[in-house]
Amino acid sequence: SQWGEENLQALSIQEGEDVTMNCSYKTYTTVVQWYRQKSGKGPALIILIRSNEREKRSGRLRATLDTSSQSSSLSITGTLATDTAVYFCATDAGNTRKLIFGLGTTLQVQP
Amino acid sequence: GPKVLQIPSHQIIDMGQMVTLNCDPVSNHLYFYWYKQILGQQMEFLVNFYNGKVMEKSKLFKDQFSVERPDGSYFTLKIQPTALEDSAVYFCASSFPGDSDYTFGSGTRLLVI
């Protein structure tokens, strides 16, 4: 498998709290993408971090990438109920035009 | 933003019958993909497609599966014949050459009975 066991999680938090999700991967990638999938919808890209970056921010989102440990994290600050979704990280296995998705973290934000 | 449209959104079909899933990708995108997601599980790569040809397919892309995009119309996934284990949500995606990010459709929920 491409993925470490810790990628599969379910988290339930209160609105306003901060949350961090982790993923680890086993093969080389040029980029780690984080997708959000809301119930009944397709995944939507929310942040992308390249192999030459250690951190990337976009609004309330922060992604980190450690290529030496082959791990990435996604943090959301000041969560909203509308952040409730499944969050997937995805790698490109060396830019092969084939995104490989992790198992996902189910995040429930209680209003 | 630009969208990928998938038709139909739901399909119920008898085992053994043929089904065609349709995808209208983002207009200037040239790479197309199909993914399969069983309820609550991860997105699994099936196939990618560029310049009229399949570039790579996974082990999940059985012999009963085929893809095509005749003359710039819908990008289609055909399953013939269908099996019970083909029940899943099928997502189409597209991307632009040189871009890493994909645009996904909302999926077609296929139930084989």
The domain spans of chain B are 5-100
pLDDT digits (tens, 9 = 90+) for B44-95: 999 999 988 999 999 999 999 999 998 778 999 999 999 999 999 999 999 9
Strands (E), chain A: 9-14, 19-24, 31-37, 44-50, 55-58, 61-66, 71-76, 85-91, 100-101, 105-110
* Number of domains chain A is built from: 1
Nearest-Cα distance to chain B for A101, in Å, is: 6
Mutate to test the interface with B, among A1, A51, A86, A97 (most CBs of B within 10 A): A97
pLDDT tens per residue across span A60-102 = 999 999 999 999 999 999 999 999 999 999 998 776 688 889 8
CA A93 to each of CA A12, A39, B4, B51, B92: distance values in angstroms, whole numbers, following the listed order: 31, 27, 24, 21, 20
Tell me whether B42 touches chain A (CB under 8 Å).
Answer: yes
> What is the full DSSP assignment across A74-100?
EEESS--GGG-EEEEEEE-TTT-S--E
Where residue A11 sits, what CATH number does that domain have? 2.60.40.10
Distance from CA of B104 to the nearest CA of A (A): 6
pLDDT in tens, B7-43: 999 999 999 999 999 999 998 899 999 999 998 788 9
Of chain A residues 22-41, which have a CB less than 8 A from chain B? 30-31, 33, 35, 40-41
- CATH for the B5-100 domain, from 3.40.50.300, 2.60.40.10, 3.20.10.10, 2.40.30.60: 2.60.40.10
Task: Tell me the pLDDT tens digit for each residue of A20-73.
Answer: 999 998 888 889 999 999 998 999 999 999 999 999 999 999 999 999 999 999
Find the domain containing A53 and state its range.
Answer: 5-110
Sign of torsion over alpha carbons B32, B34, B35, B38: positive
With CB atoms and an 8 Å threshold, state whether A97 touches B50.
yes
Chain B residues 51-90 within an 8 A CB cutoff of chain A: 55-56
Query: Would you state the pLDDT for residue A5?
Result: 41
